[in-house]
Amino acid sequence: AQSVTQLGSHVSVSEGALVLLRCNYSSSVPPYLFWYVQYPNQGLQLLLKYTTGATLVKGINGFEAEFKKSETSFHLTKPSAHMSDAAEYFCAVSAPGGGSQGNLIFGKGTKLSVKP
């Protein structure tokens, strides 16, 4: 069975500081990994995803994440936080193949606050 753990339900950073949101997963097969963002009163928007190939993936709005198989991690980073980054971020995992394992398994989410 697959699962996702996001460390820290709430992270607060200053504007311009590094953003690091942690995600660890467990999967019996090589996973597909995702980060979604939810701005207030909006839907879940895909930030970036890892399926195969390069383990460092770049997404929208300057975010990137690195798949580390040895650490079963997929942490999300951004070098310099902006006020507009304040949102809730969800890590998710799925198994390849698109079958019953192809559905998304989400973490609990991390709410990011950015202080001026």
Partner 1 sequence: EPEVTQTPSHQVTQMGQEVILRCVPISNHLYFYWYRQILGQKVEFLVSFYNNEISEKSEIFDDQFSVERPDGSNFTLKIRSTKLEDSAMYFCASSEMKGASYGYTFGSGTRLTVV
The residues that touch partner 1, with contacts defined as CB under 8 A, are: 4, 32, 34, 36, 41-46, 49, 51, 90, 92, 94, 96-100, 102-109
Distance of closest approach, residue 41 Cβ to partner 1, in angstroms: 6
Distance of closest approach, residue 115 Cβ to partner 1, in angstroms: 24
Alpha-carbon gap, residue 86 to 93, rounded angstroms: 23
> Nearest-CA neighbor of 60 among 51, 68, 49, 52?
49
Distance of closest approach, residue 80 Cβ to partner 1, in angstroms: 26
Alpha-carbon gap, residue 73 to 5, rounded angstroms: 9
Instruction: Please say which residue, 89 or 114, places its beta carbon nearer to partner 1.
Output: 89
Alpha-carbon gap, residue 48 to 89, rounded angstroms: 11
Instruction: Please say which residue, 17 or 86, places its beta carbon nearer to partner 1.
Output: 86
